[in-house]
A and B are shown apart, each in its own frame.
Chain A
Amino acid sequence: MPDAMTTPRLQVRHLSTTFHTDEGAVHSVAEVSFDILPGRTTALVGESGSGKSVTSLTLMRLLPRTARTTVAGSALFVDRSGQTVDLLSLPERQMRAVRGNQIAMIFQEPMTSLNPVFTIGEQIAESVRLHKGASHAEALARARQMLDLVEIPAAGQRLHEYPHQLSGGMRQRVMIALAMACDPTLLIADEPTTALDVTIQAQILELMRKLQREMGTSILFITHNLGVVAHHADEVAVMYAGRIVEAAPVRELFAAPRHPYTQGLLACLPGKQPPHRGTGPRRLYAIRGQVSSPLAPPPGCAFAPRCDRTIPRCDLAMPELLADGAGRQTRCVLTEATQEAA
C-alpha cells in the first residue's frame, strides 16, 4: 500500500471542458493534469479567462446546467473512507454528499456568497445538519465553534446576525467557517481574497494556513495573484488559454521560470523590474498583445502570438507538456529542444 502522505488526495488527469456555443466550440480547459497532496496547497495561476475557475467548477460538477458542455478526463479523489472515486463520473446523488462535506468551496465574492435572509449561524448549521445528521442544537453549537475557529470576535452574538451586518473580511471568514464546518479534506478556494483589501487579504490567507495545519486539509488555490502564490502554495500550475503551460514546486518556479509566459508574468511584478535605463518615466514590464479569441486559437502554441522568443516551430503544433523528471513540467518548444538535445 502506498504511503498515505504521498498518495495524492486529488489526481486530475487530462481534464477537458468544452462549451458548445452558437459561435462554435470553446475549449475552456484542455488536457489539464495536476495532483494535490494531503495537507498541501496546489495553486492554479492564470489571467482572467485562462480556465482556472472552469477547472474548479468542472471538478465540483457545478458548471451551469444551461450551458452545453463536454467534459473529458478523470479526477480521482480519495474520500474519507480511503476509497478512490472519479468525481467526473460519480452519480449526482453521491456527488451531493461529497460537495460541502468532503470537498468544500470558497468563492471570490464574500458579499453575495451568503444568503441575505438567514443568520450566519443558520447557514453554517444547515450544512452540518445536512451532511452530519446533527440536530439543530448540535449544528448551532458547531457553527459557534467554527466562528471561534475563524477568529470572529463575539461569536455567540455574530451567530444570530445577518450577512449585511458584517464587513467583507468578516463575511469571508464566515464563508471559510461555512466551508470548513464539515471537516472537508479538500478545499477549493477560488480567488478567496481578490475582493478584499490588502491587510484583510493577509489575515484571511494566514487563517486558511492555520486551518490547513490544524485540520490537514488539501487546498486547491485559484488565483491570479503571484505574490499570494509565492507565500501560500506548495505546487504551482500556470494556466494559459485553458492549458497548463508550466507546473513546478513553488520555489523552483519563482527561482527559475522556464516558460516564456511564466517569465513574462514574473517580470511584470514591480519588484522584479530590470534596472532602469534612459531618462523617461519608469514603466512596468507588460506582456504585449492579448489573449487570442478562444473561438479562433492560433495553430500552434497558444502563447506564440505574444511570445518574445518565438521560432518557426512554435506555429506548427501545440507543444506537449513535458516533464523534466525532477518534478517540473513545461509546455514550450524551447524546453522541448533543450531536452531533446540533452
Chain B
Amino acid sequence: MGLLLRKLFRRRIVLLAALVLLTVVLIAMAAQWVTPYDPNDTAVLERLNAPSASHYLGTDELGRDLFSRIAFGGRYSLAIAALTAFGAILGGTLLGLVAGFFRRLDAPLMRIVDAMMSLPDILLAIALVAILGPSLLNVVLALVLVYTPRVARVVRASTLVVRELLFVEAARALGIATWRILWRHILPNLLSPILVQASFIFAYAILAEAALSFLGVGVPPEIPTWGTMVAGGQQYAHQSLGVVLYPGLAIILTALSLQVLGDGVRDLLDPRLKKSM
C-alpha cells in the first residue's frame, strides 16, 4: 500500500492535487471548529467587506462570513457531488456492462439511454426535481439520473471492445461462468474509463448543483453550497469580486484536483504504464 502511494505521488502534481483535496475535505468536515462564525449569521453593517483579519475571505451581501460559508458549503457540495458520482457510476456501469455484453439487451437499453441523453442535462434535472420536490437527496437523485446514461455509453463502448478480445474467449474456453467473466475479466479492464468518468461527473455535479440552486430548484436556500453562493453573489460581483471568486475558486480547485488525482490513479492502475521494477 505504501509502495503504491509512493508510486502515485512520484508525480509532484498528483501529490499537490491530493493535498489540496485533503485540505478541502478536512476543512469541510471540521467546519464547525475551524470557522469563526456561523455560516448564516448576518451582519448588515459589514456587508461585502474585503478580506481582513476578522473575516479571512471577507463577507457577502448580507455580511455573512465567506470563509465560514465556503467551509460549511463544502460539506454539501462535496456530499452531493460524491453521491452523484457514486450513483451514476454504479448505475451506468451496470447498464453499460449488460448492454455491451449481452447483444440482445443492447438495442433496447441504449435507446432508453439515447432518449435520456437527448434532453438537455439541466432541463432534465429541473423536471426531475420539480416532480420529486426540492431536497438535498432529490437533487442527488436527479443528477444521478442525468449522468447515468453518459457512464452507460462509455462503459458499453469499452465493453464492446474488451468482449471481443481473445482473453475473453480464452476464459470461456477455461469453463469460467459468464457472470464471472463479466465481473473478473471484463470489468477490471474498464476501470480507467470508469475512473475518468467518475472524476468528470464529480466536477460536473458541483456545477450542476450550482445551476439548479441558482434556478431555485436545487437544495433549499438555507443550506449553503458553493453553487448557491456563486449564484447568489453574482449580482454583487462588481462591488466585491470575492463573493463569487472564493466559492468559484473552491469549485475549480476541488474539481481540478480531483481530475489530476483521478488521472494519477488511472495511470497507476494501468499495468502497461507500471515500471516493472
Task: Given A66-B103, A114-B167, decide whether A99 and B271 contact each other with a Cβ distance below 8 A.
Answer: no
Contact of A198 with B by CB under 8 A: no
A-B contact pairs, 6 of them (CB 8 A): A99-B174, A100-B176, A101-B175, A107-B166, A114-B170, A126-B174
On chain A, the residues within 8 Å of B166 by CB distance are 107, 109, 112-113
Q: With a CB–CB cut-off of 8 A, which chain B residues contact A165?
A: 276
Q: Which residue of B lies closest to A188 (CB)?
A: B173
Chain A 205-249 interface mask (CB, 8 Å, partner B; 1/0): 000000000000000000000000000000000000000000000
Query: How far in angstroms is the closest Cβ of chain A from B201?
Result: 23
A178 at interface by CB-CB < 8 Å? yes
A330 at interface, CB cutoff 8 A? no
On whether the beta carbons of A118 and B174 are closer than 8 Å, the reply is no
Residue of B nearest to A60 (CB): B173
A176-189, CB under 8 A of B: which get 1 and which 0?
00100000000000
Q: A115 contacts the other chain (Cβ, under 8 Å)?
A: yes
Nearest Cβ on chain A to B173's Cβ, whole angstroms:
4
Q: Is the CB of A115 within 8 A of B189?
A: yes
- Distance of A112 Cα from B184 Cα, bound (Å): 16
Which residues 109-130 of A have a CB within 8 angstroms of B?
Answer: 109, 112-118, 126-127, 130
| Known A101-B175, A164-B272; further 10 A-B contacts with Cβ < 8 A | A65-B103, A96-B177, A99-B173, A104-B174, A105-B170, A107-B166, A114-B170, A115-B167, A116-B272, A162-B271
* Chain B residues, CB < 8 A from A131: 175
B173, A62: Cβ atoms under 8 Å?
Answer: yes
Give chain B nearest CB distance to A180 CB in angstroms: 12
Q: Which residues of B contact A112 (CB under 8 A)?
A: 165-167
Q: Is B47 an interface residue (CB 8 A)?
A: no
Q: Is A97 an interface residue (CB 8 A)?
A: yes
Whether the Cβ atoms of A105 and B274 lie closer than 8 Å is no
Shortest CB-to-CB span from B101 to chain A, Å, is 10
For B271, give the chain A residue with the smallest CB separation. A162
- Asked whether any CB of chain B lies closer than 8 Å to the CB of A98, the reply is yes
Q: Is the CB of A104 within 8 A of B184?
A: no
Mark interface residues in A46-89 (1 if CB within 8 Å of B CB, else 0): 00000000000000101001100000000000000000000000
The 9 closest A-B pairs by CB, nearest first: A100-B174, A99-B175, A100-B175, A105-B173, A112-B166, A162-B271, A96-B175, A117-B188, A115-B167
In the bound complex, how far is the Cα of B71 from the Cα of A78, in angstroms?
A: 71
- Is B103's CB under 8 angstroms from A178's CB? no
Tell whether B266 is near chain A: CB-to-CB under 8 Å: no
Least CB distance from B270 to A in Å reads 8
Q: Would you call A113 and B170 a contact (CB within 8 A)?
A: yes
Whether A115 contacts B171 in the complex (CB less than 8 A), given A107-B166, A109-B166, A165-B276, comes out as yes
| Complexed CA–CA distance, A161 and B174 (Å) | 21
CA of A270 to CA of B247, assembled, Å: 78
Point out residues on A near B: beta carbons under 8 Å: 60, 62, 65-66, 95-101, 104-105, 107, 109, 112-118, 126-127, 130-131, 161-162, 164-165, 175, 178
Contacts of A60 in B (CB 8 A): 173
Give Cα A96–Cα B175 distance, bound, in whole angstroms: 4
Judge if B38 is at the interface, Cβ distance under 8 Å: no
Q: For the complex, what is the distance from the CA of A118 to the CA of B168, rounded to whole Å?
A: 13
Chain B nearest CB: distance from A46 CB in Å? 21
The smallest beta-carbon distance between A145 and chain B, in angstroms, is 18
* Complex interface residues of chain B between 135 and 166 (CB less than 8 A to chain A): 165-166
CB distance from B170 to the nearest CB of A (A): 5
Bound complex: CA A98 to CA B172 (Å): 11
A107 touches B169 (CB 8 A): yes
Given contacts A109-B166, A116-B189, contact A62 B172 (CB under 8 A): yes
Residues in A whose Cβ lies below 8 Å from that of B272 = 116, 162, 164
Residues from chain A with Cβ under 8 Å of B103 in the complex: 65-66
Chain B stretch 28-44: residues in CB contact (< 8 A) with chain A: none
A86 to B43, CA, bound (A): 86
Are A127 and B276 also in contact (CB < 8 A) when A107-B166, A112-B165, A115-B185 are? Answer: no
What's the minimum C-beta distance from B77 to chain A, rounded to whole angstroms?
Answer: 34
Cα A117 to Cα B174 in complex, Å, equals 18
How many angstroms from the CA of A96 to the CA of B179 in the assembled complex? Answer: 13
Q: Are B175 and A118 in contact (CB-based, < 8 A)?
A: no
CB under 8 Å from chain A, chain B span 245-277: 269, 271-272, 274, 276
Which residues in B have their C-beta under 8 angstroms from that of A98? Answer: 175
**With known contacts A62-B169, A107-B169, A165-B276, A116–B174 Cβ distance under 8 A:** no
Q: In the complex, what residue of chain B is closest to A127 when comparing beta carbons?
A: B174
Chain A residue, CB-CB nearest to B167: A115
Count chain A CB atoms within 10 A of each CB in B165, B170, B177, B189 and give the residue with the most: B170
Alpha-carbon distance A196/B177, docked complex (angstroms): 30
The residues in B between 182 and 221 inclusive whose CB is less than 8 angstroms from any CB of A are 184-185, 188-189, 191
- Give min CB distance, A97 to chain B, whole Å: 6
In the complex, what residues of A have CB within 8 A of residue B177's CB?
A: 96
A117-B271, A164-B272 known; A130+B167 contact, CB < 8 A: no
Min CB gap B142→A, angstroms: 34
Q: Are A104 and B173 in contact (CB under 8 A)?
A: yes
Chain A contacts for B175, CB-based, 8 A: 95-101, 127, 130-131
Contacts of A127 in B (CB 8 A): 174-176
Using Cβ atoms and an 8 Å threshold, which residues of chain B touch A164?
Answer: 271-272
B169 touches A130 (CB 8 A): no
A98 CA to B170 CA, complexed, in Å: 14
A126-B176 Cα distance, complex, nearest whole Å: 9
Report the Cα distance A130→B191, complex, angstroms: 24
On whether the beta carbons of B176 and A130 are closer than 8 Å, the reply is yes
